[in-house]
Structure 1
Amino acid sequence: MPIGILEEFENSISEVANSKLFREYIGAESDSVKLTDIPIHSGVETHFILAFAIDYTNDNHPSPTNGKFDVFWETNHLGPEEIASIKDRNANVKFAVSLGGDSVGDGKAFFTPNSISSWVRNAVSSLTSIIKQYNLDGIDIDYEHYKTDPNTFAECIGQLLTNLKQSGTISFASIAPYEDDGAVQSHYQALWRKYGHVIDYVNFQFYAYDKLTVSQFVQHFQEQASNYGGGQLLASFISGGENEGLTPNGGFFDACNELKGQGKLGGIFVWCADESTKSGFKYEKTAQALLASL
C-alpha cells in the first residue's frame, strides 16, 4: 500500500476509535446522590449505569433465584420519574442497568444458574420488566464471582443479550471485566469469543490494578485492547480511591491524552457517582471536557 494511502487509512482508524462516550455507575453506595447533581456536558454522550440488579432475593438473608432479577440500587433519587426527567431534558443521556456486582447483603453475588435455558428465560422476563419500568436503554454485565464454568456463563449472558437486542428491549450492552487470578477474565473471554458481536462497550476496571504510573496504565490498556480485540474499550478510574489504578490527580488524564493521541480512547467511565459527591464531581467535569475536545 503506498505511504500516502497507508497514512490516510491509519488516520481513519484513529478517528473511529476515539469516542465522546462518558459513563458513570450510580446507586450502589448511597441513597442521597441525585442525578441533577452530576454534570452533563451537552457535547458528550452520557450513560448512567444503575448498580445493581441482582438475581437474588431482596431480604436480610439473600439467596440466588436463577435469573429472577430484582432492583438493588438505591431508588430514593433513582426512580422512573427522576430518570424520565433527566432524559427529557438531555437528549444525549441514556441509562443502563448493571447486573451482579461484587456483593449482596453480607456475601458475594455469585452467578449460579440452575440451567442455561431456565436462567435465560427468567432473566429475559424479569429484566424486561425492570427495563420497561425504569425506561432504560441498555445492560452492563458486572458479575465477579461464579459457581459455574466459563462456557455456561457465556451462553447465559450471550443468549440474554441477544434476546433483549433482537426484541428491541435494549439498544446497547457492555461488560465490566478486570484482571484477576484467572476466574473473571476466563469467564469474560469465553463470552467475548462467542458473543462479542452483541457487546458494544468494554468497561474494563483498570482501577482493580494496584497503583499505576501513566506508562503502566497505557500498557495495560493496550493489553486489554488485545484481549477484547475489536471492542470499544473505555479508560476508567475510581473516584474514591488513592492506591487503585491510576487516580485522577495522579496522571489518569495524562494517560487519556496519550491514548487520545494514538486514536485509542474509546471513552471514559467512573466508579462511581456516589463517591464523587465528596469532590463536587470535579473529575467528571474534567473527563467530560476532555471527551468533548475529541
Structure 2
Amino acid sequence: MGPSLLQTLALLVFQALIITSCAKSGPKNSNLFREYLGAEFKQVTFSDVPINSGVEFHYILSFAIDYTTASSSPSPTNGKFNVFWDTDNLSPGAVAAIKAKHPNVKVALSLGGDSVGDGESAFFDPSSPETWISNAVSSLTQIIQEYNLDGIDVDYEHFKTKPDTFARCVGQLITTLKKNGVVSFASIAPFDDEEVQRHYMALWKGYGDLIDYVNFQFYAYDEGTTVAQFLRYFDEQSGNYGGGKVLPSFISDGSGGLAPDGGFFTACSKLKSEGRLYGIFVWCADDSKGLGFKYEKQSQALISISH
C-alpha cells in the first residue's frame, strides 16, 4: 500500500525544510584575524604585533606591484611584480621566524595598493593580458616561494582597463597559483567606489569560487559612520559578494568609516550573535604600532576560540 496523503504531505514539508535550511547555510563565525603591514615603512616587525593563540592570524605584506623599482618614476611592467614593502624589517628570514614561533600564523602578500613611488597611483594597466598573466604567475611564484608565503590578496584601486579584462587576468592568476599549489588562499580588497566595484564584482562573478575572503574596506566610508550605518553597509556588500566571507574592517587611526573606539566592536558583536562574523581585518600595523596595538588585542579577544 502506498503512503497516505498525510504522510506524503509530511514528507514534502520535511523536504522543503531541508532545502530551506541548505539554502540559508553559508559562512559561519570565524576566528580569522588579518592585518596589513609594511607599506608605510615605519619599521614595524612581525613580532611587534600581539598574536592571540586562539585565532587564525594572517599577516598581509603590502605591497607587491607590477611596476619598476629602479627609477624615480616607476612604470608598469605588464605583470612582472616587484616587492615594495619594508624588506629591511619584513624579510624572508623574518617570515620564517614568526611562522616557526606561532603555528597559527600565515603570511600573504597584497597586490597593487593605492600608490607607487612618490604617490603616483598604482594602475592595473596590462599592455597584453595574456603576457600579463604569464609574467604575473612567474614573478609572483618566485616572490611567494622566496618568502615562503601562504596566500595572495588583490588590492588594485586604480584601473586603465575594462572590468572583464581585470577579471580574466586576476582570475587566471589566482586559478594558476592555486592549481600549482603556490598559494592556499586568496582574498580581494574592494571598497565602495563605482569603478572599483565594477572591476571586483566582475572578478567575483567569474572567479568567486576561488576567492576565500573579501577584505572589504569599510573604513573607506565617511569618517563618523554609525553602528547602524555600518551594519547596513555590511548587508549591502554581503549581497554584492553573495556567498563570500565579507570581513568587517577598521583603520587604526579611526580616520574613516566606523572607528574602533566609535562602535566597531559593538557592530562586530552583533554580527557575531547572528553568526556572520567571518573574521576581522585591520589597516594597518604600521599605524597601530604607535597605539600599542590595543585594537588588535580587542579584535582578537572578540573572535578567539577561547573567548
Shorter-chain TM range is: over 0.9
Find the aligned partners of 2:13 and 2:290 in 1 and give their Cα distance: 54
Find the aligned partners of 1:6 and 1:92 in 2 and give their Cα distance: 38
Residue number in structure 1 paired with 2:277: 265
1:42 to 47, 53, 56: 53
2:289 to 247, 272, 277: 277
Find the aligned partners of 2:190 and 2:289 in 1 and give their Cα distance: 25
Find the aligned partners of 1:194 and 1:11 in 2 and give their Cα distance: 23
SS at match of 2:60: strand
The question of 1:18 aligning with 2:5 is answered no
Measured after TM superposition, the shift of residue 30 of structure 1 is 2.1
What does residue range 202-221 of structure 1 map to in structure 2 within 5 Å?
202-210=214-222, 211-221=224-234
Measured after TM superposition, the shift of residue 179 of structure 1 is 0.2
Find the aligned partners of 1:55 and 1:199 in 2 and give their Cα distance: 21
The question of 1:65 aligning with 2:88 is answered no
SS at match of 1:130: helix
Answer yes or no: is the 8 Å Cα contact 1:15–1:263 preserved in 2.
Answer: no
One-letter code of the match for 1:120? Answer: I
One-letter code of the match for 1:40? Answer: I
Residue number in structure 1 paired with 2:173: 160
Find the aligned partners of 2:277 and 2:84 in 1 and give their Cα distance: 31
Answer yes or no: is the 8 Å Cα contact 2:26–2:243 preserved in 1.
Answer: no
The TM-score, its normalising length taken from structure 2, stands at: 0.91
Residue number in structure 1 paired with 2:123: 110
Answer yes or no: is the 8 Å Cα contact 2:27–2:243 preserved in 1.
Answer: no
Measured after TM superposition, the shift of residue 34 of structure 1 is 1.2
Measured after TM superposition, the shift of residue 157 of structure 1 is 0.1
Find the aligned partners of 1:15 and 1:108 in 2 and give their Cα distance: 37
Measured after TM superposition, the shift of residue 89 of structure 1 is 1.1
Cα deviation, 1:64-120, whole Å, max 9, x if unaligned, reads 000000000011110000110000111110010000000001310000001221000
Answer yes or no: is the 8 Å Cα contact 2:189–2:217 preserved in 1.
Answer: yes
SS at match of 2:111: strand
One-letter code of the match for 1:189? Answer: M
Measured after TM superposition, the shift of residue 241 of structure 1 is 2.7
Answer yes or no: is the 8 Å Cα contact 2:238–2:244 preserved in 1.
Answer: yes
Measured after TM superposition, the shift of residue 258 of structure 1 is 0.6
Residue number in structure 1 paired with 2:110: 98
The TM-score, its normalising length taken from structure 1, stands at: 0.95
Residue number in structure 2 paired with 1:200: 212
Residue number in structure 1 paired with 2:251: 238
The question of 1:131 aligning with 2:131 is answered no
One-letter code of the match for 1:266? Answer: Y
Answer yes or no: is the 8 Å Cα contact 1:24–1:271 preserved in 2.
Answer: yes
Cα deviation, 1:12-31, whole Å, max 9, x if unaligned, reads 96794111100000000124
SS at match of 2:286: helix
Q: CA RMSD in A?
A: 2.0
SS at match of 2:236: helix
Residue number in structure 2 paired with 1:81: 93
Find the aligned partners of 1:34 and 1:165 in 2 and give their Cα distance: 28
Q: Name the CA shift for 1:262/1:14 in 2 (closer, same or farther; >3 Å).
A: farther
Answer yes or no: is the 8 Å Cα contact 1:13–1:263 preserved in 2.
Answer: no
Answer yes or no: is the 8 Å Cα contact 1:14–1:262 preserved in 2.
Answer: no
Find the aligned partners of 2:178 and 2:210 in 1 and give their Cα distance: 8
SS at match of 1:98: strand
Answer yes or no: is the 8 Å Cα contact 2:123–2:159 preserved in 1.
Answer: yes
Cα deviation, 1:186-239, whole Å, max 9, x if unaligned, reads 000000000001100000000000021001001100100000001111000000
One-letter code of the match for 1:42? Answer: S
Find the aligned partners of 1:257 and 1:207 in 2 and give their Cα distance: 18
Residue number in structure 2 paired with 1:289: 301
One-letter code of the match for 2:237? Answer: Q
One-letter code of the match for 1:75? Answer: T
Find the aligned partners of 1:89 and 1:204 in 2 and give their Cα distance: 29
Structure 1 gaps, min length 5? none
Find the aligned partners of 2:23 and 2:89 in 1 and give their Cα distance: 42
Answer yes or no: is the 8 Å Cα contact 2:214–2:245 preserved in 1.
Answer: yes
One-letter code of the match for 1:51? Answer: S
Structure 2 gaps, min length 5? 1-11
SS at match of 2:192: coil
Measured after TM superposition, the shift of residue 129 of structure 1 is 0.3
